[in-house]
Amino acid sequence: MTILETFIKATSDLRDHYSKMTSSEMEMRIKEIKDHLKDKLFLPAHHYQKDEVVQFADVTGDSLQLAKISAENNKADYIVFCGVHFMAETADMLSKQNQTVILPDLKAGCSMADMADIHQTERAWKELTKIFGDTMLPLTYVNSTAAIKAFCGKNGGATVTSSNAKSMVRWAFQQKERLLFLPDQHLGRNTAFDLGINLQDMAVWDPIQNTLIYEGSDLEKVKVILWKGHCSVHEKFTVEQIQEFRKNHSDYQIIVHPECTHEVVRASDYNGSTHYIIETIKNASSGTKWAVGTEMNLVNRLATHYTDKEIVSLNPNLCPCLTMNRIDLAHLLWSLENIMEGIPQNIITVDEETKKYALMALNRMM
Ligand code: 13P
Ligand code: SF4
C-alpha cells in the first residue's frame, strides 16, 4: 500500500468507527482515558479550537502561552496538541526528549505557514542579499515550519508571535539595519507601522514571482521586507464591513487580530493577539458592545462566556479556520485510544539538525 493509500484507509476507518458512536459516548471515553492517564497526558488547546475539544483541555492559550506552557511541562509522557501543525512542531522542540507530541489530525495545518517553504526562503535570501548585502535580519512569525524557524536561527534571527511582535521587531533593529519578516505580511506591516516605520519604507517579497515589490525609488530607504503571505481567515475581514457595521452600530467597539490587513487594523478600535482580545473583553465594563474580527470559535466562546456584554463577529458570515476545526471529538478520542493501546499515531518530530537551529530562534524570543 502506498503512503497515500494507507492515509486514506486510516481516515475512512476512523470515520466509520467513530460515526457509530454518539458525542456523549465519545466524551465519556475521552474522560475515562484522561482519568486513567492523569498527568502522564497533557492536552493543550489553542483558543480557536472547537468547544467540544476545549472542554477537555488542560490549558488553553495563544501560541506564545502554549509554547511556554509546553516547555514547562515535565510530567507528561504524551502531549496531545489540539491546535495546528506548526504549534505541535514547536511543542516537540520545546518538550523533553522522553515526551511524545501528537497532533490528532495531520491535516490540521496552517494555510499561512504553508505560504513560505524553505527553498523559497533560501532563494529569497540570496536574491535579497544581492540587493541589500549583509544588512538584514530574518524574523518569522511562529506560524511557520520548523525549517523556516531554523533558517532564522542560523542567520541570527528569531521567531515572533502576535503577542510580542513589537518587542521582537525593536530587538531586530538593534541587530541589523533592516529585516525580512516571514510569512505574514499583515502582522509584519501592522507591527512595523506601530513602531513608526512608514509604509513607503516597506517592500514586499513575492515568493512565487521571485521579485521584490517596491513602489519607492530609493531602495536604501527600505527598512522592512514583508513576505507575501497572509491568513486566509483574517483576510476575510474588510474595511467595508467595518464601515457598514459602524453605520448601524455606533455603540460597538471593534477589536481585530493583527493578521487582518493594515486597512482593517487602522479602521478598528483595538488590535492584538487572541490573548489580548480575550483580556480586553474580559476587563471591559458590563454592558459594553464588541464586534470581533477573528476566528469564529473564539468569538462564539466569548459571546457565551461574557453574557454581560454584547459580542458579535465583525463578519456576519463568520470565519472559521478550517484546519483548526479539523480537530474534533473523533480525532481526539482516536489519538487517546492509540496511546492506550501502546501504538501512538500522528507523532510530530522535528529532526535534530533543524531543531538545533530552530531552538536558537525560539530561545531568542522566549
Ligand atoms: P495567536 O498567537 O494570537 O494565538 O494567533 C495564532 C494564530 O494562528 C492566529 O491566526
Ligand atoms: Fe493559520 Fe489563519 Fe488558521 Fe491561524 S487562523 S492557524 S494563521 S490559517
pLDDT given for residue 6 in this prediction: 55
pLDDT given for residue 68 in this prediction: 83
Nearest residue (by CA) to ligand 2, atom 7, is 231
Three-state secondary structure call for residue 77: coil
DSSP output for 110-173? -TTGGG--HHHHHHHHHHHHHHH-TTEEEEEESSS-HHHHHHHHHTT-EEE-TTTHHHHHHHHH
Read off the C-alpha cell for 339. Answer: 496511546
CA angle in degrees (0–180, nearest 5) for 134-135-140? 105
Please work out whether the CB of residue 143 comes within 6 Å of at least one atom of ligand 1: yes
> Pairing between strand 202-206 and 211-213?
antiparallel
Please work out whether the CB of residue 184 comes within 6 Å of at least one atom of ligand 1: no
Closest CA to 91 of 67, 63, 56: 67
Question: Could you report the average pLDDT of every consecutive run of 10 residues in the chain (366 residues)?
Answer: 55 70 95 96 95 96 84 93 95 93 95 95 97 97 96 97 95 97 98 96 97 93 97 95 94 97 98 95 97 94 96 86 94 96 96 96 93
pLDDT digits (tens, 9 = 90+) for 66-125: 878 988 998 999 999 999 999 999 999 999 999 999 999 999 999 999 999 999 999 999
Phi and psi at 204, nearest 5°, equal -120, 130
Domains of the chain and any CATH numbers: 3-108+323-349 (3.40.50.10800), 113-231 (3.40.50.10800), 234-313 (3.40.50.10800)
Give the C-alpha separation, 364 to 175, whole Å: 12
pLDDT given for residue 15 in this prediction: 63
Nearest residue (by CA) to ligand 1, atom 6, is 63
pLDDT given for residue 179 in this prediction: 97
Please work out whether the CB of residue 108 comes within 6 Å of at least one atom of ligand 2: no
Nearest residue (by CA) to ligand 2, atom 3, is 321
Please work out whether the CB of residue 323 comes within 6 Å of at least one atom of ligand 2: yes
Ligand 2 pocket check: which of 321, 322, 327 to mutate, most ligand atoms within 8 Å of Cβ? 321
pTM attached to this predicted model: 0.91
Give the C-alpha separation, 56 to 39, whole Å: 13
pLDDT digits (tens, 9 = 90+) for 31-76: 999 999 999 999 999 999 999 999 999 999 988 788 789 889 989 9
Contact 159, 149 (CB under 8 A): yes
Atom of ligand 1 nearest to the CA of 233: 10
Give the C-alpha separation, 279 to 113, whole Å: 26
pLDDT given for residue 11 in this prediction: 60
DSSP structural state of residue 286: T
Closest CA to 366 of 56, 142, 110, 46: 142
How far, in Å, from the CA of 334 to the mean position of ligand 1?
A: 26
H/E segment holding residue 80:
strand 78-80
Nearest residue (by CA) to ligand 2, atom 6, is 110
Atom of ligand 2 nearest to the CA of 322: 3
H/E segment holding residue 180:
strand 178-182
Residue 80, strand partner residues: 102
pLDDT given for residue 323 in this prediction: 93
Count helices and strands in the chain by DSSP H and E runs: 15, 15
DSSP output for 10-57? HHHHHHHHHHTS-HHHHHHHHHHHHHHHGGGEE-EEETTS-HHHHTT-
Contact 26, 33 (CB under 8 A): no
Please work out whether the CB of residue 121 comes within 6 Å of at least one atom of ligand 1: no
- List, edge to edge, every strand of the sheet that includes 289-293: 270-271, 252-256, 289-293, 310-313
